[in-house]
Amino acid sequence: MIRKTMAVARKEFRQIVRDTRTLTILLVVPVFFLLLYGYALNFDIRHVRLAIDDRDHTVESRSLTAAFVNSGYFDLVASISDAGAARLMDRNDVRAILVIPSGLGRAMRTHRSAAVQVLLNGDNANTATTVMGYALAIIRNESARYATLPTLPTGAPSALSPLLTVEPRIWYNPQLRSTLFLVPGLIAFITMITAVVSTALSIVREKERGTMEQVRMAPIGTASFVVGKTIPYFVVSFASAFGIIVAAMLMFDMPMRGSWIVLLVTMSLFLVGALGLGLLISSAVETQQVGFQLAILISFLPTFILSGFIFPISSMPRVLQIVTYAIPARYFLTALRAIVLKGARIEAFWVELAALTLFAAAVLTLSAVRLRRQWRSA
């Protein structure tokens, strides 16, 4: 049994090595992508393009403008009059427009209140919400400079000092660097795709070319066949995943607060599951084209959308939250963040490990069973 498995593995391995383009893609491209995307992507919103429509031209209006520019969040790209606003927004040339009405300065000097208008481009709701937060905070601060303090009634000195102060403390990622949150997600995504893609065509290719008949005639069980197909791809994708993790640590200062052994074991479980998923797809379909479509349908978008990589699972509707339990990347991501960022010990995420093991066992068994049925009926 073991000898037969190794024979299949050896044959598959030769095939991988001979296809140099595929091998290079599997080994080099993932690391390169991690570096590129880890550097390129973030949710830290800076340099928001701002236009100002100042109809007041007083010390106070200039001070408000300066407060926006000096905040570091806004880049002043245009001073406009009313007419240009719509065009600038339509073209995405600006994301926010601040309209300061005439009379602001006088109102401030006479202790009356005045309204300024903030126009936001809301097409990207997430960005717009953040930008709104920045703008409101800046205006609130600026406003506080003019607010007259009412004379306090004696005996209640604390009445105006804030009743509650909040002391926020952020664990695991104190500066809230979005790299530290995106890089583990990228690792999960890239390794998942690499693994599924590498095996998704491996069986159906033999079916389509007709070499499957020869394998079927040979005295090999489907279990040996499936495991033998997995081993060489496991070696390749393990090497590539390891490279990704090392690159993340060297280039993005990703910490390593937990144990390396646990990390590698978790990663192996995840990889076997992903490779098995590819094999299952491959055994279920009849043409490589369908294999490709199915691989993307099952692994590409769900890993991206439903794993908690970008969109928080707790915000999803209940039905979809249940669907996320079928996504192995969800467990891997939780475990990865726990090991790397939190330094948690295995008690904290054994459920995730168990789920990954179960997933791997299930997909491998299913693909062996499916193949056996096909070989019998053929």
**Segment 191 to 250, residues that bind other proteins, using CB under 8 A:** 193, 197, 200-201, 205, 208-209
Instruction: Tell me: does residue 39 bind other proteins (CB under 8 A).
Output: yes
Using the minimum distance from each CB to other proteins, give the nearer residue, 57 or 112.
Answer: 112
Interface with other proteins in residues 113-152 (CB under 8 A): 113-130, 132-133, 135-136, 139-140, 142-144, 146-148, 150
Using the minimum distance from each CB to other proteins, give the nearer residue, 120 or 231.
Answer: 120
Count the Cβ atoms, other than its own, within 10 Å of residue 234.
20
Instruction: Tell me: does residue 154 bind other proteins (CB under 8 A).
Output: no
Q: Which two tokens stand for residue 230?
A: 């997995």
- Check if the beta carbon of residue 77 is closer than 8 Å to that of residue 93: yes
Minimum distance from residue 11 beta carbon to other proteins (Å): 16
Cβ-proximal residues to 232 (8 Å cutoff; 6+ apart), any chain: 9, 12, 13, 16
Instruction: Tell me: does residue 93 bind other proteins (CB under 8 A).
Output: no
State the DSSP H helix or E strand holding residue 204, giving kind and residue range, or none if neither: helix 202-209
Segment lying near other proteins (by CB under 8 A), choices 212-220, 233-241, 314-322, 364-372: 314-322
Distance from C-alpha of 50 to C-alpha of 120, rounded to nearest angstrom: 9
Cβ-proximal residues to 354 (8 Å cutoff; 6+ apart), any chain: none
Minimum distance from residue 2 beta carbon to other proteins (Å): 28
Instruction: Tell me: does residue 278 bind other proteins (CB under 8 A).
Output: no
Distance from C-alpha of 308 to C-alpha of 334, rounded to nearest angstrom: 9
Instruction: Tell me: does residue 13 bind other proteins (CB under 8 A).
Output: no
Instruction: Tell me: does residue 290 bind other proteins (CB under 8 A).
Output: yes
Segment lying near other proteins (by CB under 8 A), choices 4-12, 232-240, 267-275, 298-306: 298-306
State the DSSP H helix or E strand holding residue 104, giving kind and residue range, or none if neither: helix 104-109
Instruction: Tell me: does residue 262 bind other proteins (CB under 8 A).
Output: no
Q: Which residues of 326-343 are buried (b: 16+ CB within 10 A; e: fewer)?
A: ebbbbbbbbbbbbbbbbe
Interface with other proteins in residues 324-343 (CB under 8 A): 334, 337-338, 341-342
Using the minimum distance from each CB to other proteins, give the nearer residue, 219 or 312.
Answer: 312
The single residue among 242, 252, 300, 375 that binds other proteins, judged by CB under 8 A, is: 300
3-class DSSP assignment, residue 51: strand
Using the minimum distance from each CB to other proteins, give the nearer residue, 223 or 229.
Answer: 229
- Total number of residues shown for the chain: 378
The single residue among 1, 17, 66, 159 that binds other proteins, judged by CB under 8 A, is: 159
Q: Which two tokens stand for residue 309?
A: 């990589």
